[in-house]
Structure 1
Amino acid sequence: MKSRAYSAHTLSALVLLASLIPLASCRTAPPARPDTAPSVAIDGSTMYCTISWGKRGAYTLSGQAEQLDGSSYSVTLERLDWFNNWQDGWTEASVPLEGKLLLSEAGGSWTASKIEKPVPARTSAAQIRHRNTILEGNQAADLFDRRLERVRATAAWLASESSFSPADGNQFFARAGKVLFPEQNGYPEGTGQSAVNAEFKAGEGMKWNRTYTEQSIPEHLREVRDSGTLWRDWEESRELFYIAYTWEK
């Protein structure tokens, strides 16, 4: 088997992410965008593979690779490592994962496509910083699990809607923002009438149009939308919504 060599900077970033080292200061990382080319490292002796998006490995999938031909691999996924930051803090998590990807290389650039949908298990390790408080252990893992569950449920619904078909990440964020949070991003075409004489509910410092929710949002997502919980998920981890959406499509 042929070994792929990558920069020490890339590999050290992956090790840092996986180890979940506590950091006392504010951290930053470029957004993880799965519609861009990933960085890939494959160990030639063990065939262990890491697939990373974002300059600091903000979104990393890892697992066992099997070479199909000279430029493509099947990767049986074992773990998701995730990091993102927002205005008041950051989230870092490691999640066992099942699924399978096809990796292909052409012209020095990699593409990753789904063979079997990635399905996460319970978060194995997490840290969440909010302002001056850092949560760790089971508390942080439980919070991330609940967020990931809400995000995946939302992504699955969006993926099931035939009228929702963004071409890339930019379109996803624009269209999903309108569908999920029209009070902030403008109402989708044909739904603006729901704002007339509507009943609103306060949540997370915002007012949510319950009439729109009942008309346009599936029942299992209504409470988390009208409470503002889904808005907080979006504001703090919107890239995670897009990643979950790509898993569903």
Structure 2
Amino acid sequence: MKKYLRFVLITLAAAVVLFTLSCATVSARLRSTERESDKNNVQVTILKAENTEIKGELKSPYIPGITLHGEIEETEEGFSFYITKIRMFTNWPQGWTDAYYEASGHIVFQEQNDQWTAETTDTFELWDILKGEIRYYDAYFRGDEGLWKVKNRIDRIRKLNRFFKDEIGLPLFYPDKKGFAQELVPFLFPEAEKTFNGKERKMLFSETNLLYDQSEGERFEGGGLFWNTEYSQNILPEQLIPLRNSGTLWRDFEEASGLIYSLYNLEYIVNDWMEGKIFTTTRSRK
């Protein structure tokens, strides 16, 4: 009964949020580039609701599938964007992953001569999960089960990304998903080469992975493939080895590769990349 009541309350809360947003009107859109054709940008949308609340949303092709939500506070110099929540969504041909998390962060936008300069004064932080859902073929995971499945997936992705940045020394961010995949896939999933089509295989596996070719370990089946355990031992820290050997990381990549890329870039984009960036208004404030 308690689980059912909790599910009802969460559903009602989500409905209230959707109703509020549906009643909001766009007051302004700011882009980090003056060229409309340039897709490499960050866009901040300011929404005014009928109850005079001012909300903000931040999106970018650098973090596809992710939207930062928060409160807008107008100041004499411009406005402040207080991040309060983040939505993550990604899909694949047989399903999707959808998540809402509590988050925090503060970005100040100072206006001068119809331009806005961004400054991150409180760094972005990801906190507790609020809601999570997964569709896998005809199966839907919602409520507590969906929440924990999504949380576990996001936790695994964040551990993997920290490993790539802190131990492998990959760049702080990738401007496009293609470059990121060229680094991640042949290193982490050499056994999966034949699952890609010819064009993808040529792009991802153009160079021989010598470390993998020299591995002769036992193979475990997981996620429809057989994983070389010696190779896992050679390249990964202890906590990630069973996740590769079981095929769990491969399933995460198959079902949520967009989130792996977006979460890799997220903190850098908000905390570092935006610092000092100039934004222009694409829709006037009212």
Equivalent residue for 1:144?
A: 150
| Separation (CA, whole Å) in 1 of partners of 2:158 and 2:220 | 24
The amino acid of 1:228's aligned partner reads G
Match of 2:226 in 1: 207
**Residue 93 of structure 1 pairs with residue 93 of structure 2:** no
Q: What is the CA distance between 1:132 and its match in structure 2?
A: 1.7
Q: What SS is found at the alignment partner of 1:219?
A: coil
Structure 1 CA distance for aligned equivalents of residues 116 and 241 of structure 2 = 39
- Once the 2 structures are TM-superposed, how far is the Cα of residue 88 of structure 1 from its aligned partner? 1.1
* Amino acid aligned to 1:195: D
> Matches of 1:132 and 1:66 in 2, distance apart?
43
The 5 A counterparts of 1:72-111 are: 74-101=80-107
Report percent identity of matched pairs.
26
Say how many residue pairs are matched.
217
Determine the C-alpha separation between the residues in 2 that align with 1:94 and 1:240: 13
Retained in 2: the 8 A contact 1:37–1:109? no
Residues 102-151 of structure 1: CA distance to partner in whole angstroms, max 9, x if unpaired? Answer: 66999x99998866553333321222212222221111111000000000
- Which of 70, 75, 88 is the matching residue for 1:63? 70
Q: Distance in 2 between matches of 1:229 and 1:62?
A: 30
TM-score normalised by L of structure 1? 0.71
The worse-fitting range, judged by mean Cα deviation, of 112-121 and 74-83 is 112-121
- Aligned-partner Cα distance in 2 for 1:192–1:94: 40
Stretch deviating more after TM superposition (178-187 or 127-136): 178-187
| Structure 1 match to 2:198 | none
Q: How large is the Cα RMSD of the aligned pairs? A: 3.7
Which amino acid is 2:175 matched to? D
Cα deviation for residue 217 of structure 1 reads: 0.8
Q: Paired residue for 2:186?
A: 178
Between 141-150 and 173-182, the greater mean CA deviation after superposition = 173-182
Contact 2:71–2:82 at 8 Å: present in 1 too? yes
Deviations 1:143-167 (A, max 9, x none): 0000000000111111113642264
Unaligned runs of 5+ in 2: 1-13, 20-38, 194-203, 269-286
* Counterpart amino acid of residue 60 in structure 1: T
Deviations 1:14-43 (A, max 9, x none): x99x649xxxxxxxxxxxxxx832442124
Q: CA-to-partner distance for each residue in 1:203-240, whole Å, 9 max, x for gaps?
A: 11111111111111111111111111011111111121
Compute the displacement of 1:48 (Å).
2.3
The secondary structure found in structure 1 opposite 2:181 is helix
Larger deviation: 149-158 or 127-136? 127-136
2:40 corresponds to = 36
CA contact (8 A) 2:71 2:83 kept: yes
Partners in 1 of 2:85 and 2:239 — Cα distance? 28
Q: Distance in 1 between matches of 2:111 and 2:207?
A: 40
Q: Which has the larger radius of gyration?
A: 2
Relative contact order (alpha carbons < 8 A, sep ≥ 6): 1 or 2 greater?
A: 2
Residue 40 of structure 1 aligns to which amino acid in structure 2?
A: V
What TM-score comes out, normalization by structure 2 length?
Answer: 0.62
Could you tell me how far apart the structure 1 residues matched to 2:185 and 2:137 are?
Answer: 25
Q: 2:127 aligns with which of 112, 115, 121?
A: 121
What's the counterpart of residue 49 of structure 1?
Answer: 56
Residues 51 and 162 of structure 1: CA distance in aligned 2, closer, same or farther (over 3 Å): same
Counterpart-to-counterpart distance in 2, 1:19 and 1:207: 44
Give the 3-state SS of the residue equivalent to 1:198 in structure 2.
coil
1:158 to 160, 164, 171: 164
Q: Structure 1 residues 209, 115: CA separation in 2 closer, same or farther (over 3 Å shift)?
A: farther
SS for the counterpart of 1:122 is strand
